[in-house]
Structure formats: C-alpha cells, structure tokens
Amino acid sequence: MKGEVSKAMVNVGFSKLKVLEPKLFGGARSSKELENFVWDLEHYFSVAKINIDERVDIMMMYLLGDAKLWW
C-alpha cells in the first residue's frame, strides 16, 4: 500500500504490541491537523513508553517541509 505507516514493536508484559507510528507533519496552517499531530504523538509516546527526555528529539523526526524549517 502506498504511503504505509511503519510500525514499532513495544514490549507490553509478555506479549509484543505493534504500535502505529504517528503521521508526518508538514506545517499545514490547520489547527485541526496540528492538534491531531500532537494528540497522535502523545499517545504514541505513552504506549511506546518513550522517556520524556527523548520526546522532543523523536518528535523532530516527524516534521517535514516548512515545519522542519521552522523548528
């Protein structure tokens, strides 16, 4: 499938859960798109148990285009 989202493997107890990674954000001037991006990242970090100190560095990998230039 074109544009398929990659998956991260996360340990949850004794089983592994496939967590969809958040979609990239290109800096669209839409509050709805920005809110969805932030919401997706927050939930991804929570489920993937990403340390709070690493979240900004990881978030930057999901920016592209104007959003990456702005950052």
Give the domain extent around 31. 7-70
Q: How many domains does the chain have?
A: 1
**Does residue 1 sit within a domain?**
no
Q: Give 5's pLDDT tier (boundaries 50, 70, 90).
A: very low
Task: Kindly state whether residue 61 falls inside one of the protein's structural domains.
Answer: yes
Residue 48 CA, chain-centre distance (Å), reads 10
pLDDT at 2 over 70: no
pTM: 0.69
Residue 11 pLDDT > 90: no
Contacts of 47 by beta carbon, 8 Å cutoff, 6+ apart: 10, 17, 19
pLDDT tens-digit map of 15-61: 577 788 899 999 999 999 999 999 999 999 999 999 999 999 999 99
In a domain, 65, yes or no: yes
